[in-house]
Chain A
């Protein structure tokens, strides 16, 4: 659910509102003399973070004025609040995102909106007044049931703290955001920050989940929840109660963003892969998570969770790891913070990934072998959970993927969502368009994919493609293609899709890439799969290794074998020449050199 705060003027007030992190801020440019508009605090507008979209509100203004103001203040969005035609609205869409506002009363006929379909990006439904909005009154929200088009809309007009409960009841597939305006003011144009903060908390955390996000019980449709023994309940409940208020706190955000920038090296580049683009006949972009400190996206989550653990007063960190990437990321952030670190790793994986075991030890972590069951990632996860049961008070468990009991899938997705947040901004800067046609990523548990999809989930026109590891082939008996081979069930604390016997015993998966070698997927992926929001496909070991070689020799980037699965999927796609495709390069291939060398006989 997006939040737009509209009607800002005062420089200090604008800064205070921006600190709350709205998705959109709106400036009324209607009825003002050009001279007045010139007095908008341009420096303050320029200094707003790029993820807050600056919106200019016009009523029946000339194209010339609109264009000159877009130029002057670098507006990202225009909101047309008068009688502007569909064609007129459409004429700005090569420059900015376009909102078309309509005033609704009981006689409103939604048929008139059909002409605007595909000509504007969003509708904004306001209360009809003699003037153009601004009454502070609501319209009859039951009317929204008559709206059937596919254009997402914002709800405006009289939204206040008093009607948050009614907003919660609006169940409309295109309900995309709320517009907070006059009911949150201390004086015209001056917003009441404490009221806004309350509304943000309610909208973001409790009442209005994103359409594809988690609900208050931890479910994504049929999947998720917290299927944990009572011994883990206090630990998980403590996290559930605190994670949102901690990670939404301004001090936390500042520290998280500072470390991402100055320690991890973010933003990671969005690279236009020209030779790939030529080969596959589309504009192909690589989101370079491989360039992060420690060599993969895993560090984003590890940084987030170590800061959270510190605020929870935890003195000891445990983690599980398969290939060792998450173990290394966790050992790294523990070294950074001076906190004790224990990493569980399957005995077999310790032998397969010996260099990462050494890295973790060098970083000061204790690596404990998981010698039960199949002695791989799922058993390492079991051992970490057992450790947490025995150490409920002082220990935080840093789960490395979007799996586990709620709130982990949501928490990890939020920490990884920086990937798509940056991508949107970078794509806009580089191409002038914010939304690609395709977004692709590999999926084991699914954390890089969820981070890559996160901010595109509500943009239904963006096709999301998740690539699983087929191993030696989905029918070979040696595979990790969970959506092909799995069934609904419960694994590691959440209801999801997992590979299992008819009797419900978890099956050991196989993939040449240890990072995709997991028998389940995160519950949000299971949901996206079931409702067809994302397409799940699979790539064999051979196809992945060939794609890794191709990428090395065409783009000079040696990808992790996990990532190579996503790249291999390109071979199976048919693009239109003006399609834009973003692939998450989740990790670098240094750790996989041995495997590549053996396979290709270098």
Chain B
């Protein structure tokens, strides 16, 4: 049982997770931002490691990735910054990024290192289920890391069942088939999709992400799932001056 499992056992509603890109707006800010988010009340965090070709991301996160790479961020540097992580942050931490940097670092080595630093889960949007199951799942399981799968409105029921079987902390529901940073209106078809998933009574909790940007969209998501993830909207805040001071207000604006 890792921190994620403990969290989902003790708290079942209105969970709020925040995504941000490591190395943005500057290097050596990762743990400071994480600690401030915990203090402001975030329940768990996703720390993105940048990639040159982020196909699932919209302009905001693309921009943060480009800047982070210009700042010199690498997986090695991120892991160095994270040596301080567990001295200052207690909430669950996930790393999120694309597969190629992990392949170059070494998949097994990556899992070991992440676990050693106190990371609880990994989200790799472009690591497919087949490859995970056939080749890599043992590295995750041996290191007590949760692998988080995405589900979209187009994902079939059979596939969702399979994902539920392979998951051991939560399932990431995409609010719509889109890249990150889009705006979200709760339409009937989205509501039908949320209801359909809820009716499946999956063994894993569900967290909704993509397009969650304010209290309204957060509340809607929490009606159907255990919580929601805010990404692009928070990354935009990091562009502003004195962003550290604005973090508590930001969290309150999403979940008063």
Instruction: Give the chain A neighbours of B151 by CB distance below 8 A.
Output: 230
Return chain A residues, CB-CB under 8 Å to B130: 217, 225
Query: Which of A127-135, A434-442, A488-496 makes up part of the contact surface?
Result: A488-496
Given the interface contacts A231-B152, A389-B178, A505-B69, does A490 sit within 8 Å of B100 by beta carbon? yes
**B155 sits at the interface (CB 8 A):** yes
* Inter-chain contact A505/B150, CB cutoff 8 Å: no
Give which listed residue, B58, B102, B150, contacts A229 with CB less than 8 A.
B150
B126 lies within 8 A of A505 (CB)? no
Q: A44 CA to B147 CA in the complex, in Å?
A: 61
The smallest C-beta distance from B151 to any residue of chain A, in angstroms, reads 7
Residue B52 is within 8 A (CB to CB) of chain A in the complex: yes
Tally of chain A residues near chain B (CB < 8 A): 34
In the assembled complex, the Cα of A506 lies from the Cα of B102 at a distance in Å of 13
How many Å lie between the Cα of A373 and that of B128 in the bound state?
25
- Stretch in contact with the other chain, from A197-205, A330-338, A378-386: A378-386
Task: Assess the B126–A493 pair: CB atoms within 8 A.
Answer: yes
Interchain CB contact under 8 A, A227 and B62: no
User: B83 contacts the other chain (Cβ, under 8 Å)?
Assistant: no
Contact yes or no, A231 B178, CB < 8 A? yes
The one of A231, A487, A492, A504 in contact with B105, judged by C-beta atoms closer than 8 angstroms, is A504
A229, A373, A386, A392: residue with the most chain B Cβ atoms closer than 10 Å = A229
A230 adjacent to B150 (CB under 8 Å): yes
A302–chain B nearest beta-carbon distance, Å? 22
CA distance A231 to B99 in the complex (A): 16
A41 near B: Cβ within 8 Å?
no
B contact residues around A230 at 8 Å (CB) = 125, 149-152, 155, 174
A234 within 8 A of B: yes
Are A386 and B104 closer than 8 Å at their CB atoms?
no
Bound CA span A504–B103, Å: 8
Report which of B58, B62, B126, B154 forms a contact with A490, defined as CB distance below 8 A.
Answer: B126
Partner of B104, one of A385, A492, A504: A504
A500–B105 alpha-carbon span in the complex (Å): 12
* Chain B residues positioned under 8 Å from A385 (CB to CB): 55
In contact, A506 and B53 (Cβ under 8 angstroms): yes
Tell me the chain A residues, 382-398 only, with Cβ under 8 Å from chain B: 382, 385-386, 389-390, 392
Given A489-B103, A504-B100, A505-B52, CB of A386 within 8 Å of CB of B155: no
A225 to B127, CA, bound (A): 10
Task: Tell me if B100 and A506 are in contact (CB < 8 A).
Answer: yes
**Shortest distance in angstroms between A409's beta carbon and chain B's nearest beta carbon?**
16
A390 CB contacts on chain B under 8 angstroms:
177-179, 182
| Chain B neighbourhood of A217, CB < 8 A | 130
Check B62–A372 contact: CB distance below 8 A.
yes
- Given the interface pairs A217-B130, A382-B55, the reply to whether A487 lies near B125 with Cβ below 8 Å is no
**Residue ID in chain B nearest A389 by CB atoms:** B179
Tell me if A233 is interfacial: C-beta within 8 Å of chain B.
yes
A107 on interface, CB distance cutoff 8 Å: no
B101-A504 in contact (CB<8A): yes
Please give the distance in Å from B136's CB to the nearest CB on chain A. Answer: 12
Complex CA gap A225/B83 in Å reads 35
Within the complex, the shortest CB–CB distance from B7 to chain A, in Å, comes to: 23
Docked pose: A378 CA to B51 CA in angstroms:
13
Residue picked from A385, A493, A503, most chain B C-beta under 10 Å: A503
The residue on B at minimum CB distance from A384 is B55
**Chain B residues within 8 Å of A386, by CB:** 55-56, 58, 179
- List residues of chain B with CB within 8 A of the CB of A227: 99, 126-128, 131
Closest residue on chain A to residue B103 by CB atoms: A489
Q: What are the interface flags for A493-521 relative to B under an 8 Å C-beta threshold, 1 for contact and 0 otherwise?
A: 10000101011111000000000000000
Cross-chain contact B104 with A234 (CB below 8 angstroms): no
* Least CB separation from A488: chain B residue: B103
Check: A226 CB closer than 8 A to any chain B CB.
Answer: yes
- CB <8 Å contact, A389 and B177: yes
Provide the residues of chain B in CB contact with A373, threshold 8 Å: 52-53, 62, 66
A118 to chain B, nearest CB (A): 42
Closest chain A residue, CB of each to CB of B174: A231
CB distance from B256 to the nearest CB of A (A): 31
Contact A229/B125 with A373-B66, A505-B69 known, Cβ cut-off 8 Å: yes
- Contact of B53 with A378 in the complex, beta carbons under 8 Å: yes
Kindly state whether residue B74 has any CB partner on chain A within 8 Å. Answer: yes
Decide yes or no whether B75 CB sits under 8 A from chain A: yes
Say whether A228 faces chain B, with CB atoms less than 8 Å apart: yes
Q: Which residues of B contact A226 (CB under 8 A)?
A: 128
Distance in angstroms from B11 CB to nearest chain A CB is 26
Inter-chain contact B55/A490, CB cutoff 8 Å: no
B76 interface residue (CB < 8 Å to A): yes
Q: Is the CB of A392 within 8 A of B69?
A: no
B155 contact set on A, CB distance < 8 A: 230, 233-234
Q: A230-B174, A493-B126 known; A504 and B150 CB under 8 Å?
A: no
| Complex CA distance for A217 and B101, rounded to whole angstroms | 23
For residue A344, give the distance in angstroms from its CB to the closest CB of chain B.
Answer: 12
Q: B residues within 8 A CB of A389? A: 55-56, 177-179
Are the CB atoms of B125 and A491 closer together than 8 Å? no
A573 to B178, CA, bound (A): 51
Expressed in whole angstroms, the Cα–Cα distance for A102 and B127 within the complex equals 49
Give the residue of A225, A231, A382, A498 whose beta carbon is less than 8 angstroms from that of B131: A225
The answer to whether B76 and A503 touch across the interface, beta carbons within 8 angstroms, is yes
Give the docked Cα–Cα distance between A363 and B179 (Å).
Answer: 29
Would you give the 0/1 interface string for A523-541, flagging 1 where the beta carbon is closer than 8 Å to chain B?
0000000000000000000
Q: Please name 7 pairs of A and B residues whose Cβ atoms are closer than 8 Å in the assembled complex, sorted by A.
A: A225-B128, A226-B128, A229-B56, A230-B151, A233-B152, A234-B152, A373-B52
A-B pairs, top 9 by smallest CB distance, nearest first, are: A504-B101, A504-B104, A230-B150, A229-B125, A234-B154, A503-B74, A505-B52, A229-B56, A504-B100
Known pairs A490-B99, A492-B55, A504-B104; list 14 more (Cβ under 8 Å).
Answer: A230-B152, A231-B56, A233-B128, A373-B66, A382-B53, A382-B54, A389-B178, A489-B103, A490-B103, A490-B126, A498-B100, A503-B75, A503-B104, A504-B51
